[in-house]
């Protein structure tokens, strides 16, 4: 009975402390809903908005695809992948149903890994906006992410990509963790010791990063021998006023000290963490803690209420198991501890808060998901996925979480609080299809669907009644069609040589002249002709081998192209010098007799030749 009274007193005090930041009590708590999967049996949630949830789910073919779930249709929409990749994952969604994330995979031989940041909407489908990953998106469609080179970027559909530069660390250690309505982007760089080397903020009006470094803590324990300086920081969340919350650390070492009461040497951690809020005007404000060694501010709403986790004081001076508890912070007040969903309970954390003051978190020892309304905790762990549910996500009227069933199948679930943002429907036209003609004027047609702001489709079109849908067709490829040249061959002209090799050119007649960029007329073909060797005197011996080019056509000739009379004349030249006339006559007789034997002269042809020689005056 006393325990009940003490717990009742705790709730009474908590209600008084929270009166500035909680709304009126809700009538009832909705039941978590399993939102299903894309056919592959597994699904997880990574972000929510009013009536919407995104994450990834396995498909029937085994790949994991990004999805958008809508409370209006109670269906999960497969967002697909960017061509050339096999997997995708949704990181963020806004209340208009616009989704951002990452599409990634290997090439065909698994030697090159590629990751693309994507933006998706019902109007555009999945668009590749950069390398790397897109992490967050606000309701104005401003996207924040990190490219493959570790540069933080901001992107909008209208304005395109804006490179915000690199923070204090390498590409693989840079992460964007939040964005507000003004487009201020926050994140962390350089992972080490449970935190990051620095955090950063890129104001929506700026194209550069402002670096946040842990302010540290100069009040080190007396056994500290080294000035450890400021280390590690995490920027966890930002609200629309630009207030950043997170966790910074004061040192990064553990020292062994000697204590007889503890039985000798034991380690004392001086790597304490501090919950903080930060503004550009005020800088860092340490939010304090419960007297333990660590605290972290995890989320903030637009009213400035902060929730997080702090370690409780450890009664054991020699160390031992630590406990941590969730807290609420309202400006001007100390941290207020949220009650456990059941008692006793250790390791409870608050991880999210909406603008109505509804808080979500988890209870560690039982691994349960928890919701606090008006400071009253409720176990919201779904019965169908009660294995390791963790901290849910919350935005507006929607809570989303993850868990596994007894067979270790992962489930994505949502819990809808009473108010869900109204979904606005309008006619949305897809891109125009292929033109019906490549030139000369054709028609391109598009598909027009009645689409909700959450990406859902009203197939009947009733939700868009009264609206004028955009035109579904337009003219295309109105330019004149190209005309190709058409020619007709009339054969080849005369050869340039009768023998020994000449050329002749094709005679073309143009039937149709080219127009509008059509193919030009082809050139006429030129070819070789009369390639046979020349025999000018027609004696059957080509000119290049003919020693007697003047031989009468049809005469009998030797291999050198010479006839009988020419052979006699060549052997017994009238212009040669002879000893006497008889020597000349004897030469002619011998040569003509040999010509008869060679078949170059007949006996009847020989006689005139010899008679002429005898009657000549040669050699006299």
Read off the pLDDT of residues 438-469 as tens digits, 9 standing for 90 and up: 999 999 988 888 888 777 888 888 888 878 78
pLDDT of residue 483 exceeding 90, the answer is yes
Whether residues 601 and 507 fall in one domain:
no
Residue 22 has pLDDT above 60, yes or no: no
Exposure letters 69-80 (e unless 16+ CB within 10 A, then b): bbbbbeebbebb
- The token pair that represents 174 in the structure block: 């840079």
* Gap between the Cα atoms of 77 and 204, Å rounded: 31
**Mean of per-residue pLDDT scores for the chain:** 84
Name the pLDDT band for 564 (thresholds 50, 70, 90).
confident
Mark whether 427 and 517 lie in a shared domain. no
Is there a contact between 306 and 296 (Cβ–Cβ < 8 Å)? no
Residue 570: inside a domain:
yes
Same domain, yes or no, for 35 and 125?
yes
In a domain, 308, yes or no: no
The verdict on 512 and 583 lying in the same domain is no
Rounded Cα distance between 367 and 376, Å, is 18
Residue 606 lies in a domain: yes
- Helix (H) or strand (E) segment spanning residue 565: helix 564-571
pLDDT above 80: residue 135: yes
Asked whether residue 201 is assigned to any structural domain, the reply reads: no
**d(C-alpha 350, C-alpha 296), whole Å:** 10
Q: How far is CA 467 from CA 114, 231, 463, in A?
A: 42, 58, 9
Percent of the chain residues past pLDDT 90, beyond the cut: 48
Give the whole-angstrom CA distance, residue 55 versus residue 20.
Answer: 34
Quickly list DSSP for 73-136. Answer: TTEEEEEE--TT-SEEEEEEE-TTS-EEEEEEEE-TTS--EEEEEEEEETTTEEEEEEESEEEE
Token pair, residue 5, equals 């009274």
Whether 87 is covered by a domain: the verdict is yes
**114 and 51 share one domain:** yes
Are both 69 and 130 inside the same structural domain? Answer: yes
For 537-570, b/e burial (b = at least 16 CB within 10 A) is bebebeeeebebeebeeebbbbeebbbbbbbbbe
Q: How far is CA 419 from the centre of its chain?
A: 37
- Encode pLDDT of 313-333 as tens digits: 877 766 666 688 899 998 877
Predicted pLDDT at 414 = 97
Residue 40 included in any domain: yes
Both 79 and 117 in one domain: the answer is yes
What is the value of pTM for the model shown?
0.63
Would residue 315 count as lying in a domain? Answer: no
Is omega for the bond preceding 344 within 30 degrees of 0, making it cis? yes
Residue that is written with structure tokens 């309505």 in the block: 181
Final residue in a domain of this structure, among 476, 506, 529: 529
pLDDT of residue 1: 29
In the chain, the number of structural domains is 3
Domain assignment present for residue 356? The answer is no
- Residues 126, 48, single domain; the answer is yes
Q: Do 504 and 596 have their domain in common? A: no
Cβ contact 116:104 at 8 Å: yes
In this model, does residue 73 exceed pLDDT 70? yes
Residues in the chain: 620
Mean pLDDT over 68-92 rounds to: 95
Q: What would the mean pLDDT of 581-589 be, rounded to a whole number?
A: 84
Residues 116 and 55 both lie in one domain: yes
**Contact yes or no for 463/450 (Cβ under 8 A):** yes
What span, in angstroms and rounded, lies between the C-alpha atoms of 125 and 586?
114
121 & 66 share domain: yes
Task: Determine the straight-line distance between the first and last CA of the chain, rounded to whole angstroms.
Answer: 173
Quick one: 120 and 52 in the same domain? yes
Domain interval for residue 499: 486-529
């Amino acid at each position: 009975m006393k325990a009940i009274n003490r717990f009742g007193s705790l709730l009474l005090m908590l209600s008084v402390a929270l009166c500035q930041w909680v709304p009126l009590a809700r009538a009832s708590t909705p039941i978590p809903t399993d939102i299903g999967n894309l056919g592959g049996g597994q699904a997880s949630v990574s972000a929510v908005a009013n009536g919407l949830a995104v994450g990834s789910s396995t498909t029937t073919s085994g790949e994991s695809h990004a999805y958008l779930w809508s409370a209006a249709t109670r269906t999960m929409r497969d967002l697909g992948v960017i061509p050339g990749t096999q997997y995708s994952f949704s990181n963020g969604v806004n209340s208009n149903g616009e989704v951002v994330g990452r599409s990634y995979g290997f090439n065909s031989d698994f030697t090159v890994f590629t990751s693309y940041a994507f933006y998706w909407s019902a109007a555009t489908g999945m668009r590749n906006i950069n390398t790397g990953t897109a992490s967050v998106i606000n309701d104005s469609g401003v996207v924040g992410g990190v490219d493959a080179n570790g540069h933080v970027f901001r992107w909008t559909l209208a304005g395109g990509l804006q490179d915000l530069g690199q923070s204090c660390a390498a590409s693989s250690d840079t992460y964007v963790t939040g964005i507000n309505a003004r487009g201020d982007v926050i994140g962390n760089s350089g992972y080490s010791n449970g935190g990051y080397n620095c955090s950063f903020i890129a104001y929506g009006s700026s194209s550069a990063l402002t670096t946040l470094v842990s302010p540290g803590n100069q009040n080190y324990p007396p056994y500290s021998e080294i000035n450890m300086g400021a280390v590690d920081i995490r920027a966890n969340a930002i609200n629309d006023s630009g207030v950043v919350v997170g966790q910074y650390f004061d040192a990064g070492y553990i020292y062994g000290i000697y204590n007889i009461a503890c039985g000798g040497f034991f380690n004392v951690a001086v790597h304490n963490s501090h919950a903080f809020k930060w503004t550009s005007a005020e800088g860092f404000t340490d939010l304090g803690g419960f007297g333990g060694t660590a605290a972290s501010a995890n989320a903030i709403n637009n009213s400035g209420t902060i929730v997080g986790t702090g370690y409780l004081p450890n009664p054991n001076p020699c160390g031992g198991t630590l406990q941590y508890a969730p807290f609420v912070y309202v400006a001007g007040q100390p941290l207020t501890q949220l009650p456990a969903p059941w008692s006793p309970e250790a390791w409870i954390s608050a991880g999210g808060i909406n603008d109505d003051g509804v808080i979500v978190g988890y209870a560690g020892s039982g691994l349960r998901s928890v919701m606090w309304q008006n400071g009253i905790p409720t176990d919201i762990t779904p019965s169908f996925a009660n294995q390791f549910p963790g901290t849910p996500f919350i935005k507006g009227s929607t809570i989303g979480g993850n868990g596994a069933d007894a067979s270790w199948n992962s489930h994505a679930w949502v819990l809808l609080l009473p108010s869900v943002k109204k979904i606005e429907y309008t006619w949305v036209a897809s891109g125009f299809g292929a033109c019906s003609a490549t030139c000369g004027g054709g028609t391109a047609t598009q598909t027009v669907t009645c689409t909700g702001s959450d990406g859902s489709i009203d197939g009947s079109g009733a939700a868009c009644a009264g609206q004028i849908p955009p035109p579904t067709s337009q003219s295309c490829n109105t330019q004149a069609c190209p005309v190709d040249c058409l020619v007709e061959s009339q054969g080849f002209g005369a050869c340039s040589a009768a023998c020994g090799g000449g050329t002749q050119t094709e005679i073309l007649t143009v039937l149709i002249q080219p127009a509008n960029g059509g193919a030009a007329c082809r050139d006429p073909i030129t070819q070789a002709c009369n390639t046979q060797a020349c025999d000018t005197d027609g004696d059957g011996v080509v000119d290049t081998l003919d020693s007697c080019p003047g031989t009468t056509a049809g005469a009998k000739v030797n291999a050198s192209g010479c006839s009988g009379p020419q052979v006699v004349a060549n052997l017994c030249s009238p212009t040669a010098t002879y000893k006497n006339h008889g020597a000349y006559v004897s030469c002619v007789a011998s040569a003509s007799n040999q010509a008869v034997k060679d078949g170059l002269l007949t006996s009847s042809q020989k006689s005139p030749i010899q008679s002429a020689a005898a009657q000549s005056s040669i050699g006299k």
